[in-house]
Each structure stands twice: as structure tokens, then as C-alpha cells.
Amino acid sequence: MSELVIVDHPMVKDSLTHLRCKDASRTDFRRHSDRICEFLFYEAVADLQLRDVEVETPLETTQGQKLSDEVVIVPVLRSGLALLPAALKFLPKSRVGFVGFERDEVTAEARRYYWKLPSISPTDVVIITDPMLATGGTSEHVIEAVQETHPGRMIFVSVIAAPEGVERIQNRFPDVKIYTAALDDHLNAQKYIVPGLGDYGDRYFGTE
């Protein structure tokens, strides 16, 4: 079963409370979302591989280390874009792909409408971003499709997750490590995360 990492830093907990508040302004929502995403990526990249290098300081030559892993960031449109600034802040040379899925509000099933990925090699690390891991249906489709490109490994980053979605991903993809700021209680009858924070994309992009 894949590992679930809950990033419960005090600053993350504080910002998450702001995100949950239905009266949070768009400015506050974005600011606290960006803060949480930076903490999430700080943890998500902790296992990236390093290579030894020589570096010239003002005084002498010494040994150092640089990242050796090549990373591909794949935001799930559109709310996954909210995590992209944090990803590029830590990994500015990363290649970026985009996948678009639309949820049917009746069946809660995901339908793919956009797919544009860079070339992916067996040594690449792919980080998929989607702030809400609810049923896991969209995430399952994305991970399954990315697997066909044969990356070295995959990481999934979300802000809030439901137990149902986590279980679905863990059972289907035991090698995919999941990072999230909170594991919420359950999904309601409409398949929304409870207590959750509403529609992430609408609140972040102002399309309520």
C-alpha cells in the first residue's frame, strides 16, 4: 500500500483554517493556498536524488551536491494549477504537462478533455497535483495514463483528501506516494469532501 504523508506543520494548520472559512476573501484564499502548497512541495521533494559535484568557493574547491532527478509536474486542470507556482519555485527547471478532466455532477465520474505531456523517460519523477482528492476517480485516470509513459516514479500532491480517494489510490497504485495537508472525514452524497472547503478551483480563480 502506498504511503500517505500528512503535512501537519503549524503554519499549514493555520492556513488550512483560513481556506475552510466560507467568508475568506479571494486574496486570503490564494495567499493561504500558496503557503500550504509550498510546505507540501517542500516535503514532496525531500526524497529526490542528489549527485556529487565539485564547487569553487572564494577560498578553495569543495564537494557539494545537486539534484540529479529530472522532474515533470502535471497539474490536473484546472484547480491543480493552484499548486504550480509552489512546484516551480522549488523545481524551476521542471518540465510541465497539463491534463484536463471534468466531473459529471450526476455520476461523479471523470471525463478527459485535454492531455498534453512532455516526453517522459524511465528516470523521471512525475509529480501530479490536484488540491482535492475526493473519490479518487480523476486521480486514478491520470495516474493510470501517466503510468503508460513509464516514469521512474510518481508522487501525488493534494491539499485536502478524503479517505475514500486515498484508499482508492493506495489500492490501485501502491507505489505512488501521497502528500496532503489534511485527511478529512468523508464524502457526502454529492461526493464532496466533508468538512472540506467547497470548490477549490472556483474559490481560487474567482469563478463561483
Looking at every residue in the chain, the average pLDDT score rounds to 93
Question: In this predicted structure, what is the pLDDT of residue 109?
Answer: 67
pTM of the model: 0.92
Higher-confidence position of 33 and 206: 33
Catalytic residue among 14, 175, 185, 202: 202
Q: What is the CATH number of domain 4-50+66-205?
A: 3.40.50.2020
Read off the C-alpha cell for 88.
Answer: 516551480
Catalytic status, residue 23: no
Catalytic status, residue 14: no
71-110 pLDDT, tens digit per residue, is 999 999 989 999 999 999 999 999 999 999 776 667 666 6
Catalytic status, residue 207: no
Least confident of 53-62, 102-111, 147-156: 102-111
Catalytic status, residue 202: yes
- Give the number of other Cβ atoms within 10 Å of residue 184's Cβ: 20
Catalytic residue among 28, 34, 69, 199: 199
Which residues are CB-neighbours of 112 under 8 A, at least 6 positions away? 99, 100, 101, 141, 145
Residue whose grid cell is 500500500: 1
Question: In this predicted structure, what is the pLDDT of residue 83?
Answer: 96
Catalytic residue among 20, 31, 95, 103: 103
| Three-class secondary structure of residue 42 per DSSP | helix
Catalytic residue among 47, 107, 111, 123: 107
Average pLDDT over residues 106-118: 81
Average pLDDT over residues 149-167: 96
One-character DSSP codes across 96-141: E-EEEEEE-TTT--EEEEEEE-----TT-EEEEE-SEESSSHHHHH
Confidence class of residue 177 from pLDDT cuts 50, 70 and 90?
A: very high
